[in-house]
C-alpha cells in the first residue's frame, strides 16, 4: 500500500531520500494551572533558561566544520533571545503579577511577541516569528526536565539515515540532526522563509514542510520516500517500490559525486561553443547554492516573496536592502531582478481586499499589468532596483509582456524614475539593462519588435506552455497536457531565438525547461546559449553542454523543425542524442 502526502518541497542539490520515519514529538506540557507561590515558578524559569542556554551552547560547539559560516548565527540569535528582556523580563512580570505558572506565562508572552512580528512588513523579519516560537518551546521543554538538565537534548540518537517527522524543527535541531546523518525532514509547520527551510537548503537535506498532521498519521519506523523537488512524501510497505526509489537514489548520488568535478571546468561544448549557465533565486539565501553550483550569475530573481503574506507593500529601503544583500553575496556576478509577478498562484491580501475579484487570475491583472496599474506598489521596487544598479551589475526584467504599449509605458516610467532619482541625488547605473520575459504567445510572435526595444529577452516556458496550450499550470487534472516538446512550443521558442539573433539581442530561458537536462541538447540545437535554472540543476546541465557537439545539434534541428508536427517527442530526443 502507498499513501501519499503533499507539502512544500525544499530542495538543495539533493532531492530524494528513502528511509524509516523517526517521529520527533516535542510538544511541551503547558496548561493554565494556577500556582501558589510565584517565587517557585521564577526559580523554575531560571533553571529552564539555564538548561536551554547550555543546550544551545552545546549545539554551537557541535556545528560541523563544513557547515556554512552563517549557520552559527542562527544559534547566536537564539542564545541572545534567552536574555532578551522582551521575552524573559516580561515573562517574569506575568508570573509575578498574574500568579500563573512559568510555562503558561511563556506562552502568553510568546503570543504577544508573535503578534508584533506578524505585523512587521519585512518578510525576513516577520519570518523570525519562528525564532520566537522555537526559543519559547525550548524553554518550555526545559521546564519539564529541570532536575536532569541534559535531558533537554531532545534529539534521538538512533536517527542515522532516518526521515525525521516533526511538527516543527528549530535551526539547532536541524544542525544536530544533520550531524547525526539524517536522510530528510518532513515537518507539519514551516514555510520557505523559515530558518529551518533556509538551513535545510544550505545543509542540503531534502525537506518537505507543511505536511499537515504528519506526526499523527505517519508511524514510527515506516518506510518513507521523500521527494523535495515535488514536495511529496510516500509512505509505503511495498518492497518493489522501495527498491525502485533506492536504486534511483543511489544512481543520483553517484552521479552527483561525478558532477562535482565539473565545477572548475568551463561551460563549453565539445566543439568550443560557450554556454552561459545562470541561477534562478526565490530567496536571497539561495545565492549560496547558486555560487556553490558554479552559476555565472542570476538569470531570474523572483521578488514575490518580498510582497507575500504582509499587511502592506514593502518600502523602497526594504527592497533595496534585499537586493544589495544578494549583490553582496554574488561578489560581482550579474543579478537579474524580475519585477513583481503577482496575480495567479501568488496573491497578497492588501491588494485582493482593494481590487475587484479576479475572474480568471491567469488572464487577469497580473505581473506588468498590475505594476502599471498600481504605481504605489511598483514605484518603490523600481526605484530600489535602479538604486541597487549603482552597487553592482543589476538587470531589470519585466514579466508577462503581451503588448508593445506595456513595454513603452514601462520604459517611460523608468525614464521618469531616473529623473526623479537624479534630482534627489541618488545614484544608479544609467545603462542598467532592461529585459522582458517572453511567456505569452503574443509576445513570442512579436519577439522581434520587443527585442528592438529591450536589452535582452528571457523565455519563461512555464507560462508560455500554459498560455499556448491553454493548460492551467496549477490544475492537476490537465497536467498530462503540459508538454514542453509540443510542436507549437518548439516553433515559438525557435522564432524567439531567431528574432533575438536577427536583432543581436541577448536571449536566455528561465522557465523550468531550461533546467531539465532532458531538453538541453534540443535547446542548444535551437540556438539557445544562455540557460537560467534552480541551482541544483546547474551541474547536470553543464555535463550535457560539455558533452555536446552544438554544430551537429543545430544541423539536426534545422533538418527536423520543418516537419516537427509529424515527429514524436521520443524520436526527436533520440535523434538529438545520436547527433550530440
Ligand atoms: C515562467 O513562466 O517560465 C517563469 C520563469 O516565471 P514563473 O514560473 O515565476 O511564472
Ligand atoms: Mg512566468
Q: Tell me the CATH number at 79.
A: 1.10.274.10
Point out the ligand 1 atom lying closest to the alpha carbon of residue 302.
9
CA distance 562 to 573: 16
Domain CATH code at residue 221: 3.50.30.10
Lowest-pLDDT range, 53-57, 390-394, 437-441, 504-508? 53-57
If asked whether residues 145 and 220 sit together in one domain, one would say no
Query: Which residue is it, cell 514555510?
Result: 191
Please tell me whether the overall predicted TM-score, pTM, comes out greater than 0.75 for this model.
no
Mutation to probe ligand 1, out of 463, 468, 474, 496 (largest number of atoms < 8 A from CB): 463
> For the segment 296-335, what is each residue's pLDDT rounded down to a tens digit?
999 999 998 788 656 688 999 999 999 999 999 999 999 9
Q: Does any domain span residue 446?
A: yes
Mean pLDDT of the residues in the chain: 88
- Provide the sign of the torsion angle of the four alpha carbons 236, 242, 248, 249, taken in this order: positive
- 243 burial (CB, 10 Å; 0-12 / 13-18 / 19+) is exposed
Strand pairing of 276-281 and 298-302? parallel
If asked whether residues 297 and 408 sit together in one domain, one would say yes
C-alpha cell at 146: 529541570
Count CA atoms closer than 13 A to 425's CA, side-chain side.
0
Query: Which residue is it, cell 528511509?
Result: 19
If asked whether residues 365 and 460 sit together in one domain, one would say yes
Query: Which residue is it, cell 537586493?
Result: 323
If asked whether residues 68 and 198 sit together in one domain, one would say no
> For the segment 433-484, what is each residue's pLDDT rounded down to a tens digit?
999 999 999 999 999 999 999 999 999 998 999 999 998 876 656 767 889 9
If asked whether residues 35 and 111 sit together in one domain, one would say yes
Domain of 123 in residue numbering reads as 27-154
Residues that are catalytic: 195, 510
- pLDDT value, residue 191: 64
148-170 core/surface letters (b: 16 or more CB in 10 A; e: else) = ebeebbbbeeebeebbbbbbbbb
Q: Check whether 292 has a pLDDT greater than 70.
A: yes
- 240 burial (CB, 10 Å; 0-12 / 13-18 / 19+) is exposed
Do residues 108 and 54 lie in contact, with contact meaning Cβ atoms separated by under 8 Å? no
Q: Does any domain span residue 247?
A: no
- pLDDT value, residue 508: 98
Q: Give the pLDDT mean for 492-513.
A: 97
Q: Does any domain span residue 250?
A: no
If asked whether residues 19 and 37 sit together in one domain, one would say no
Q: Does any domain span residue 262?
A: no
CA distance 356 to 572: 46
Domains in the chain, number: 3
Point out the ligand 1 atom lying closest to the alpha carbon of residue 462.
3
If asked whether residues 495 and 530 sit together in one domain, one would say yes
Do residues 146 and 48 lie in contact, with contact meaning Cβ atoms separated by under 8 Å? yes
Atom 5 of ligand 1: nearest residue by CA position: 511
CA distance 384 to 379: 8
Query: Which residue is it, cell 505558572?
Result: 101
Whether residue 463 has its Cβ less than 6 Å from ligand 1: yes
Mutation to probe ligand 1, out of 440, 444, 510 (largest number of atoms < 8 A from CB): 510
What is the helix (H) or strand (E) element at residue 165, kind and residue range? strand 163-166
If asked whether residues 144 and 195 sit together in one domain, one would say no
Sheet of 2-6: strand order equals 2-6, 232-236, 223-227, 16-24, 163-166, 184-187, 207-209, 8-10
Q: Give the pLDDT mean for 198-215.
A: 83
Q: Check whether 150 has a pLDDT greater than 80.
A: no
- pLDDT value, residue 416: 98
Whether residue 152 has its Cβ less than 6 Å from ligand 1: no
Alpha helices, DSSP H only, in 393-458?
A: 404-423, 441-445, 447-453
C-alpha cell at 360: 480568471
Q: Does any domain span residue 222?
A: yes
Point out the ligand 1 atom lying closest to the alpha carbon of residue 304.
9
Q: Check whether 154 has a pLDDT greater than 60.
A: no
Q: Does any domain span residue 263?
A: no
Q: Give the pLDDT mean for 261-288.
A: 93
If asked whether residues 111 and 135 sit together in one domain, one would say yes
If asked whether residues 217 and 346 sit together in one domain, one would say no
What is the helix (H) or strand (E) element at residue 466, kind and residue range? helix 461-469
Amino acid at each position: 500500500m502507498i499513501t501519499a502526502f503533499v507539502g512544500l518541497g525544499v530542495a538543495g542539490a539533493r532531492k530524494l531520500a528513502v528511509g524509516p520515519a523517526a517521529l520527533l514529538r516535542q510538544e511541551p506540557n503547558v496548561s493554565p494551572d494556577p500556582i501558589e507561590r510565584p517565587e517557585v515558578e521564577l526559580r523554575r524559569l531560571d533553571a529552564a533558561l539555564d538548561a536551554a542556554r547550555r543546550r544551545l551552547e552545546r549545539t554551537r560547539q557541535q556545528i560541523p566544520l563544513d557547515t556554512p559560516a552563517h549557520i552559527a548565527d542562527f544559534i547566536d540569535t537564539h542564545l541572545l533571545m534567552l536574555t532578551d528582556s522582551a521575552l524573559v523580563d516580561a515573562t517574569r512580570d506575568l508570573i509575578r503579577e498574574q500568579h500563573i505558572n512559568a510555562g503558561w506565562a511563556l506562552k502568553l508572552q510568546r503570543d504577544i511577541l508573535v503578534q508584533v512580528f506578524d505585523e512587521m512588513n519585512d518578510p525576513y523579519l516577520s519570518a523570525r516569528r519562528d525564532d520566537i516560537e522555537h526559543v519559547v518551546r525550548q524553554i518550555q521543554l526545559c521546564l519539564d526536565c529541570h532536575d536532569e538538565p541534559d535531558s533537554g537534548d531532545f534529539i534521538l540518537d538512533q536517527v542515522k539515515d532516518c526521515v525525521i517527522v516533526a511538527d516543527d524543527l528549530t535551526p539547532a535541531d536541524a544542525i544536530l540532526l544533520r550531524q547525526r546523518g539524517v536522510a530528510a525532514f518532513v515537518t507539519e509547520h514551516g514555510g520557505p522563509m523559515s530558518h529551518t527551510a533556509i538551513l535545510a537548503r544550505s545543509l542540503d537535506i531534502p525537506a518537505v514542510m507543511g505536511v499537515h498532521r504528519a506526526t499523527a498519521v505517519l508511524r514510527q519506523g515506516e518506510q518513507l520516500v521523500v521527494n523535495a523537488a515535488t514536495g511529496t512524501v510516500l509512505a509505503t510497505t511495498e518492497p518493489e517500490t522501495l527498491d525502485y526509489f533506492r536504486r534511483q537514489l543511489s544512481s543520483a548520488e553517484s552521479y552527483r559525486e561525478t558532477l562535482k568535478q565539473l565545477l572548475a571546468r568551463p561551460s563549453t561544448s565539445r566543439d568550443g561553443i560557450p554556454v552561459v549557465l545562470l541561477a534562478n533565486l526565490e530567496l536571497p539565501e539561495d545565492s549560496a547554492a547558486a555560487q556553490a553550483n558554479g552559476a555565472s550569475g542570476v538569470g531570474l530573481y523572483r521578488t514575490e516573496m518580498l510582497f507575500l503574506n504582509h499587511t502592506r507593500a514593502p518600502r523602497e529601503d526594504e527592497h533595496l536592502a534585499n537586493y544589495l544583500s544578494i549583490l553582496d553575496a554574488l561578489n560581482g556576478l550579474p543579478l537579474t531582478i524580475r519585477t513583481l509577478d503577482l496575480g495567479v498562484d501568488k496573491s497578497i491580501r492588501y491588494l485582493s481586499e482593494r481590487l475587484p475579484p479576479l475572474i480568471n487570475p491567469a488572464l487577469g491583472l497580473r505581473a506588468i499589468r498590475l505594476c502599471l496599474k498600481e504605481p504605489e506598489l511598483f514605484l518603490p521596487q523600481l526605484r530600489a532596483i535602479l538604486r541597487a544598479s549603482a552597487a553592482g551589475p543589476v538587470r531589470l526584467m519585466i514579466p508577462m509582456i503581451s503588448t508593445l504599449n506595456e513595454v513603452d509605458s514601462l520604459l517611460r516610467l523608468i525614464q521618469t524614475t531616473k529623473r526623479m532619482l537624479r534630482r534627489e541625488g541618488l545614484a544608479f547605473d544609467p545603462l542598467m539593462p532592461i529585459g522582458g520575459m517572453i511567456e505569452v504567445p503574443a509576445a513570442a510572435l512579436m519577439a522581434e519588435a520587443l527585442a528592438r526595444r529591450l536589452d535582452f529577452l528571457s523565455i519563461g516556458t512555464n507560462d508560455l506552455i500554459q498560455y499556448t496550450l491553454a493548460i492551467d499550470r496549477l490544475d492537476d487534472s490537465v497536467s498530462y497536457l503540459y508538454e514542453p516538446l509540443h510542436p507549437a512550443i518548439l516553433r515559438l521558442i525557435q522564432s524567439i531565438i531567431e528574432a533575438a539573433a536577427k536583432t543581436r539581442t541577448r536571449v536566455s530561458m528561465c522557465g523550468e525547461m531550461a533546467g531539465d537536462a532532458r531538453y538541453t541538447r534540443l535547446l542548444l540545437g535551437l540556438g539557445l546559449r544562455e540557460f537560467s535554472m534552480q541551482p541544483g540543476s546547474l551541474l547536470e546541465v553543464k555535463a550535457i553542454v560539455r558533452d555536446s557537439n552544438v554544430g551537429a545539434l543545430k544541423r539536426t534541428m534545422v533538418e527536423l523543425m520543418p516537419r516537427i508536427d509529424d515527429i514524436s517527442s521520443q524520436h526527436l530526443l533520440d535523434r538529438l542524442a545520436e547527433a550530440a
